[in-house]
Structure formats: C-alpha cells, structure tokens
Amino acid sequence: MTHRRRRRVLALVAAASLVAASCGTRLSHDDIVRAGGSTGTSNGQAAPAPSAPADGVPGVPGETGLANESGTAGTGSGTADTGSGTAGTESGTAGTTAVTSATDRPGGGTPGGPIVIGSVADSSGLGSAGYDQVGDALRAWAAVTNAKGGIDGRPVKVIIKDPGGDAAKARSQAQELVEKHKVVALVANDGWTSSVNAWKDYAEKKKVPAIGGNCYATVWETSPTFFSQCPSFDAQLYGSVFLAAKHGQGTKFGGLFCSEDAVCTTAKDRWFGQGYAKRAGLDPVYQADVSLSQPDYTSECIQARNAGVEILALATDSATTKRIASSCRRQNFTPEYLISTSVAEPDQAKFIDEIISAQQAIPFSGTSTPAYQEFAAAWEKHYQEPPNPLAVNSWAAAKIFEKAVRSAKEITRSGLIDALYRFKKERFGGLTVPLSYGPKGTDSVDCVFYMKASGGNWSAPQGDRPVCW
C-alpha cells in the first residue's frame, strides 16, 4: 500500500473509531466501513471504501477528523459539526466529524469531549517539498495519544489546513479553524513566512495559542500568543555558521539565497551584512541571489568555485538544493554544504557528499533517547518513508501542546497560554533546546542541534545534546 493510500485509510479508520470509544468496544472492519462511508479521491469524487484492513493501521479510540491527502472522507450524510459530516481535508474544504461545537468553552470543547486543535501548514505549492510530513507527524501523534486514552481521558481531534503558499487563504483558514471549529490551539503551523504572518494579528486578537511552526518567522519571538519549538531565528542563523566554523573542512564561505522568501534575504543579511559568518570564524568570499525556478545553477557554481569557496551555504528549498549540488558537481565543484533544517531531508545525504546542518529540534536520525524513540515508533507504525526534520519539529510542537494541556488548570485557550507561560528552560523530554515562554514571546538560549552527512549517511555527533555558545 502506498504512503498516500495508507494515510487516507488511517483517516477513514480514525473517523469511525470515536464511536468505538463511546461503546467501550472495538468496531470490526465492516462496522468501520459502514460508519465511514467512502474515502475521497484527488478530484473530490467518492471512491469505494477499502475492502480489507489497512496494513495493520489500527482504529484509534477517540481519534477523528484527521485530514486526508485530498478530497473528503464521508461519515454518512449531513453537514459538518453534526456528528455525520465530512472529515477535514488538507485543502481546508470540509468540517469536523462527530464533534459538537462548544460555545460555552471556546477551544476546549464540552467537558469530557474531544480536545480540538487545528494546523495551518503549507504542504503544497512552490518550495513545499517535504512539508507533507508536518501534517503526517501531527496525525501520528494524535493516533498514539488517543490509543493510550487521550489526554487525561479526553481524545484529541486534529484538523489540518493547507493554504498552498497563499497568504490570504492561510488567514481565512485560520479564521475558520477558530470560529467554526472552535480549536483550542493552532499546532505545528509550518510553511511560508508570509502565511503565518497573514494570520498573526488575528490569532493575537482572538488570544489563540499558536504552538510550533515555521521557526524562521520572527513572530514566534515577539508575540504573546505564539510559542516556538525552536531556538530564535537569529540563534539558528548564527548557530549554522558556528557549526560550520567549528566542524567544517575549510573557512572560505559562500552562500546562495532564494529570492522568493524573506527568510532567505534575512539569512544573507545576517551572515554577510551583519558579519555573523566572520564573527563565527569564517571568511566570507561569495554570495548570490538565485530563484527556486531556475533550470540550472552552473553560473553560480563556477563563480563560487573561482572565489575559492570551501563551505557553500544554501538558503533554498530541498529540491533546489539538490539541483544546485548537481550543477556544481558537473563543474567538478564539490564544496561542503551548509543547509537549513527544512532542507536537511534524509535523502540529501545521497545527493551531497558532505553536509553540515543546524537543527531546530532533536536530530531526525542518530539518537536513541526515550523521547526520540517514542516519535520513531509512532512514525514507523503509520508511515513507510523515513522522517525528515519537519516531522520531528511537528512532533515536538505536538508534545509541547500535550504537556501544556496536562499542566493547564482548565483546557481553554487562556488556560493553555497560562500553562505555557510557566515553562522555563524546558526541553520537553529532550526534544528541544531549553525554551522559556512569556508575554514577550519565546525566549530561547543560544543553542542548536548538530547533524552531519558524510558518505551517504546522516549522523548526530552529539546526539540530543545541543551545541551552545
């Protein structure tokens, strides 16, 4: 069974399992099919329900509303929020299965009912390679959490929206999650900086906690309702060149920066304009702007080679990183590459000989701590492909939310914010650098996690211990 098919079946099985939880027994496969109706296809047309269990993917007590790849997952007939509507989709077109909207406890649901969370994450569109794992990790967390009885006996319901890089859509989807679905928090909101900036003011006005997301957006460092799972953007940028200077094979430093997003230009400004690279011990010798849509990067590779670059930083997306490395290899130019968290996918080690990467959360490979093993077991149970850093980041955001719920005096938006404010230098089981939250935003320490790729394999030389300066 393909990864995409498996994910759709997981959503279908989950949509029916809330009924199983209420009865105290597990539904048979035929019961699940009858309760679940049909699974959606990419064009939104109904497809036949599966005729066999989904490769061991279990029905999860209390789990419902997990988003499909595309289309809708029917649960009978009727409209959303009535207990028999359509399950939410990543395109953000549908509703919430088997959940009654609770106006008396906005975001928390009725006492004993599901805890509803939303996510606005760009998993499609230009530069979105690998971002589908953001939603996948959130689904995996919800599945294992509900299989263990939920959080303090209450199941978790996840609704994921995908604005596809459209900032206006991102804002409308965030508003829908808050006003229609009454989510208690927005969790793992990764993707374009422009997307999260589009709904920042709205979330602040409504006092909706946003827990985890695009760690390159500075909103996480300055907003009273945004709580990052990562070190600050500046810490990430300096940490990258700090690692390159400490562990790299040379000092001549160059960089290629995408023109499509402010994150790329900020990295260029910090490393070159504000002297981060030089302060870390590198010798900046070359920089250039590139486009993610360029068919070839031969010219930039030749210029970097002629400048004597030994470490080449790439502020681009994953697919472009591979194409740049390919263009440079054709020119017999094989520098050591410095790449960001979102680009450091498992297969990058097969395309690039030597890589240094500063990770925002615990390394996605090379560690064996209990916190990582919990994630790895959940991921392996539901997905066939190896996890990337964005999956780990999303999982970390979910675990922060989970700990906040368990610590809150009441499961409401304000209750969660109060609980989060009490976290000081918290590492959440070793998943993050020490983080502190308060009315002025996330206050992180100057630390990152260190990963290295060599000979086709990734490693975490310091495990889950952050590198600090």
272-316 confidence digits (pLDDT tens) = 999 999 999 999 999 999 999 999 999 999 999 999 999 999 999
Residue 348 is predicted with a pLDDT of: 92
Structure confidence at residue 79 as a pLDDT band (50, 70, 90):
very low
pLDDT of 356 strictly over 90 = yes
Residue 276 is predicted with a pLDDT of: 98
Residue 109 is predicted with a pLDDT of: 60
pLDDT of 58 strictly over 50 = no
161-217 confidence digits (pLDDT tens) = 999 989 999 999 999 999 999 999 999 999 888 899 999 999 999 999 999 998 888
Structure confidence at residue 53 as a pLDDT band (50, 70, 90):
very low
> How far apart are alpha carbons 378 and 97 in whole angstroms?
23
Residue 107 is predicted with a pLDDT of: 52
Residue 192 is predicted with a pLDDT of: 84
Query: Please, what is the average pLDDT of the chain?
Result: 80
Quickly list H helices, 24-71: 29-36
CB within 8 A of 245, min separation 6: which ones? 251, 280, 281, 282
More confident call, 187 vs 78? 187
Residue 345 is predicted with a pLDDT of: 87
224-262 confidence digits (pLDDT tens) = 999 999 999 999 999 999 999 999 999 999 999 999 888
More confident call, 105 vs 341? 341
CB within 8 A of 402, min separation 6: which ones? 141, 145, 151
pLDDT of 68 strictly over 70 = no
Phi, psi of 319, deg, nearest 5: -65, -40
Residue 193 is predicted with a pLDDT of: 86
pTM: 0.76
Structure confidence at residue 110 as a pLDDT band (50, 70, 90):
low
Nearest to 396 by CA among 122, 141, 145: 141
Average pLDDT estimate for 338-365: 92
Average pLDDT estimate for 354-377: 95
Average pLDDT estimate for 377-396: 94
Nearest to 347 by CA among 256, 452, 451, 458: 458
401-429 confidence digits (pLDDT tens) = 999 999 999 999 999 999 999 999 999 99
Residue 440 burial (CB < 10 Å; 0-12/13-18/19+)? exposed
Q: Letter for the amino acid at 114?
A: P
pLDDT of 12 strictly over 70 = no
CB within 8 A of 323, min separation 6: which ones? 294, 296, 297
Structure confidence at residue 371 as a pLDDT band (50, 70, 90):
very high
Share of the chain above pLDDT 90, in %: 66
CA 437 vs. chain centroid, Å, equals: 20
pLDDT of 29 strictly over 90 = no
Residue 191 is predicted with a pLDDT of: 84
pLDDT of 21 strictly over 50 = no
Structure confidence at residue 129 as a pLDDT band (50, 70, 90):
low
Residue 354 is predicted with a pLDDT of: 96
Residue 123 is predicted with a pLDDT of: 85
